[in-house]
Amino acid sequence: MFDEASAAVRSVWGDLTPPTVYGGATGGGGKFEMSVAELETVIGMWKDEIVKIVEDGGKIGEIADAMRAPGGDDPSQGYASTGLNTIMALQNQNDSMLAYARGYVKKLEAAKEATVKADQANVDPFAQAT
| pLDDT tens, position by position, 40-49 | 999 999 999 9
* 71 domain residue, yes or no: yes
Q: What percentage of the chain exceeds 90 in pLDDT?
A: 52
> What integer is the mean pLDDT of 13-36?
59
For the chain, the average pLDDT equals: 82
pLDDT of residue 30 exceeding 90, the answer is no
Which domain does 40 fall in, by range?
35-123
* 12 domain residue, yes or no: no
* 21 domain residue, yes or no: no
pLDDT (0 to 100) of residue 23: 46
How far is Cα 93 from Cα 116, in angstroms, rounded to an integer? Answer: 34
Look at the chain and report how many structural domains it folds into: 1
> What integer is the mean pLDDT of 78-98?
95
CATH of residue 56: 1.10.287
pLDDT (0 to 100) of residue 25: 47
pLDDT of residue 11 exceeding 60, the answer is yes
Q: Are 99 and 58 in contact (CB under 8 A)?
A: no
